[in-house]
Chain A
Amino acid sequence: MDLSYSAEYEAFRKEVQTFVQENWTDEDRNSAPPPDPRSITFGTLIRTDERATKFRIKAAERGYLYRHVPKRYGGGEQPFDPLKSTIISEELRRSQAPGELMGQGASMLVPTLVEHGTEEQKEKFVRDTLLGKIRWCQGYSEPGSGSDLASLRTRGVLDGDFWVINGQKIWTSNADTSEWMFCLVRTEPEAPKHEGISYLLIDMQTPGLTVRPLRQMTGEADFNEVFFDNVRVPAKNIVGKRGQGWVVSRSTLKHERALIGNSLLSRRTLDGVIMLAQALNLRGQPAIKDPAIRNKIVELETKVLANEYHANRLLTMQARGEEAGIAGLVAKLYGTMLGYDVAKLAMDMLGDRGMLAPGEPSAPAMGMFLTAYMWSLGVLIAGGTANIQRNVIAERGLGLPRDQAASRK
């Protein structure tokens, strides 16, 4: 165990610092539009304005951003080095400079295209996606296919040079603001369920495609239903071969970058809760002096620390080329359960004020903790529910038998 950075890495940190100082000025920093309260809750300040784009292009050229993406498509093209990645994101955060975009496009589609896309697809999409010029939504879940995603029924039939798509997607985040969708469609109805799916890229402006917003329990509408009525998609928009869509869609799972974000997120939420506990009075004293709340904060802080150290242990395993095994499978469930507990603690501290809706002027922190409380439920479901995570841990991590009903047929 050696938690210091070697001279090589300290020099690298200096180099990044210098770059950021020279390319992200106070003026750039202060030109930001006022942040959306929700983006504060989730700890990501995402700018895609001209200044941010200019910075991202330079940073990628220097190899500081999108290191897994080749330079000719706008990436940084650097060997895998989790420590350097950590240093870069620390330094960018410190200077409030734009980091990598984290949406469906940059985090999920780009690695998929880099691995499976045609030259034409890479040229057309990767660079603009990395700069936020093309926004993507993910067409996976369907009304009858949630946890059992591979049972999806949206059909694609080849008609000359076009796929003709009919069916429906649901829970599609940002479908109303995205230009393109990457979509799983059943193209081989006779094949076993995992082998009959293709991965298609669909222009959201195509005739026959309708988006209808769905309002979440939070009151906002971030996700949507998407209907396909004879939507014609050029045949060349397939990624990978026919029937390989399932395998293609899984390729992004190899990129475990979300891990770092996960432990950062729970740390930031906890820091917010601690500040709240110090600022907020509960029955005549700061909430943090209340023995039950004090005890609970420390209990959760311990888990936040465990989550951080665990992420560092995983990074080290990656750097050493060791198999992470079960250690790599528990991070998501641990982080989301923890986020849920931290948000619940904030609600306890608010006491009566926990009833106040986001947007109510007298609500502490603009109701941000209530929003976090509700979103902690959303996070528990998105990208595979907690129960699906438990299946994965038990089956892949501990070698317990697979669900008979879920076996591939």
Chain B
Amino acid sequence: MDFGLSEDQVLLRQTIRRFLDEQCPTSRVRAIMESDSGHDTTLWQGLVDLGVTGLIVPAAYGGSGLELLDLVLAAEELGYAATPGPFLGSSMATVALMEGGDAAQRQRWLPQIASGKALLTIAFGEADSQWDPRAFTTKASGGKLNGEKPFVPYAAIADALIVAAADDDGPGLWLVERGAAGIETTSLTLVDMTRRVDGVRFKDTPATKLGGDRAALQRTIDAGCILIAADAYGGSRRCLEMAVDYAKTREQFGQIIGAFQGVKHQIASLACEIEPSLALYWYAAHAFDRIRDQSPRHAALVKAHMSDLYDRATRDSTELHGGIGFTWEFDLHLWFRRAVFDRSFLGEAAVHRARAADLAGW
């Protein structure tokens, strides 16, 4: 029994971390978030070249053939660096293709995802914060989609969208290519400026059905939950580090503020909450890969847990920084903003806890 990362995984994480340290300082994060597209193709291609988009793509399709436990390590580091870009939607679309695509669909898209030639995203959630596939109202009929998806990551720049919809057989996955007829995209301004989301409306939009059913759809959502949890863990860790660094250098009343127990204890309490959640999100990813019967529940649990914790980490850290923490020029709000996204996207904590209780048969 070994509850830990392999040497390769540790190396993978270090490699991504080093790349982001060099290529994605907060000055670049800010430049990207203030750009029109919110997408820096050079930075993204750098991640592609490291193999990030192909991590879970099977070797036969040009990827590394690894698992979600590897991909979440990338998610953690991107969260740590507050890296803007379409990683989450792209990763979920990749899972959707692997879970639901037939051989031809995979052959068409997976190599392009791995090589960075194509950018895919997912269009799942519906109005009124609905993330339960059983309740989706977007309809597929005669190869055409009709419905509305109010929150679609990077829809404006995606080469294809994987859309959750229902036909007579129930909920499933459809693929819509860029430029298809009847797509109306409205860009939205989010609190989290490091991630872009558009509203999308389909009116008789031509779409190809993927093979997977509701299980494939739910599994894609579960992967998204775990990826968000990893992002939130990375961000929480960064907020904690910033608080510790500040407490070690800032002086008031003639001493380093980290020597005051009020400060010390708030930081220690936060560290005490963050530290054990690392093993929790690793396990959730491992369960997704290897212990399927535990996977849906763990995805729900970890999404709820980490998005709550991320919120606390950003707030505690801001409080500890005092006035500087509340300014635009200080970087802390970048993670605060990401925590807002992580909390809401794919369903808030209460929804996932209710789902976990249902899954336990309570």
Contact = CB atoms under 8 A, between A and B. Distances in A.
B276 A5 contact: no
Contacts of B291: 3
Contacts of A1: 2-6, 69, 282, 286
A307 B268 contact: no
A315 B277 CA distance: 16
A305 B283 contact: yes
Interface in A1-56: 1-6, 9
A400 B353 contact: no
Given A295-B354, A400-B258, A4 B276 contact: no
Interface stretch (B14-22, B46-54, B125-133, B301-309): B301-309
Contacts, number: 158
A402 B275 CA distance: 21
A316 B3 contact: yes
Contact of B264 (A291, A299, A400): A400
A319 B1 CA distance: 10
Contacts of B354: 291, 294-295, 298
Interface size, B (range) = 35 or more
Interface in A190-222: none
Nearest to B4: A316
Contacts of A302: 280, 301-302, 304-305
Interface string A173-202: 000000000000000000000000000000
Interface string A300-325: 01110111011011011101100000
Nearest to B301: A302
A330 interface: yes
B356 A298 contact: yes
Main secondary structure of the interface of B (DSSP, over half): helix
A305 B356 CA distance: 13
B271 A298 contact: no
B248 interface: yes
A244 B5 CA distance: 40
B71 to A, nearest CB: 14
Contacts of B277: 306
A247 interface: no
A9 B2 CA distance: 12
Interface stretch (A122-130, A361-369, A391-399): A391-399
B244 A317 contact: no
B247 interface: yes
A295 B355 CA distance: 10
Contacts of A395: 264
Contacts of B278: 310, 313
Contacts of B271: 326, 330, 393-394, 397-398
Contacts of A387: 261, 265
A299 B353 contact: yes
A161 interface: no
A278 B275 contact: no
Nearest to B352: A298
Contact of A400 (B1, B259, B304, B357): B259
6 smallest CB-CB distances across A and B, nearest first, come from A309-B279, A310-B276, A390-B268, A312-B3, A393-B268, A400-B258
27 contacts: A1-B3, A1-B4, A6-B1, A295-B354, A301-B356, A302-B280, A303-B305, A305-B280, A305-B298, A305-B301, A306-B276, A306-B277, A309-B283, A310-B279, A313-B282, A326-B271, A330-B271, A333-B269, A334-B272, A387-B265, A390-B268, A391-B261, A391-B265, A391-B268, A398-B244, A399-B244, A400-B263
Given A3-B2, A403-B259, 10 more contacts: A3-B290, A6-B1, A274-B362, A310-B275, A312-B3, A313-B278, A390-B264, A390-B265, A391-B261, A393-B271
Interface of A: 1-6, 9, 83, 274, 277-278, 288-289, 291, 294-295, 297-299, 301-303, 305-307, 309-310, 312-313, 315-317, 319-320, 326-327, 330-331, 333-334, 337, 387, 389-391, 393-395, 397-404
